[in-house]
Structure 1
């Protein structure tokens, strides 16, 4: 998924001192890791979070 989204839980609104009976919330985000996978033909998302220097050095020129 590149753009995840959904409704905000009423408990979150309550914790922010917003009345969930009067307001609702919609949350969304961009999966930057998925975009990186598409741009660099990475097949396993776990590679992005393992901090393997051999893998990460391939992307020096991208910075």
Structure 2
């Protein structure tokens, strides 16, 4: 289970915000609360959090 996703910022994203990708690079990362809940509550499928099923969501 991936808890902390990360990766390099695409050069086009840097160009779009006014940076020269030949001179700078970017690193992005983030931690989703859904993934922490998956570990805590033993949930196998992250998609359950995004199906808007209140029977599931109201448990938390």
TM-score interval for Structure 1 and Structure 2 normalised by the shorter chain: 0.7 to 0.9
C-alpha separation between the residues in 2 aligned to 1:44 and 1:23? Answer: 37
Name which one, 1 or 2, has greater alpha-carbon Rg. 1
TM value normalised by structure 2: 0.84
Select the structure that is richer in helix.
1
Number of equivalenced pairs: 59
Unaligned stretches of 5+ residues in structure 1: none
TM value normalised by structure 1: 0.81
Give the corresponding residue for 1:32.
Answer: 33
C-alpha separation between the residues in 1 aligned to 2:58 and 2:33? Answer: 19
Deviations 1:18-44 (A, max 9, x none): 011111111111122111111111122
Give the corresponding residue for 1:7.
Answer: 8
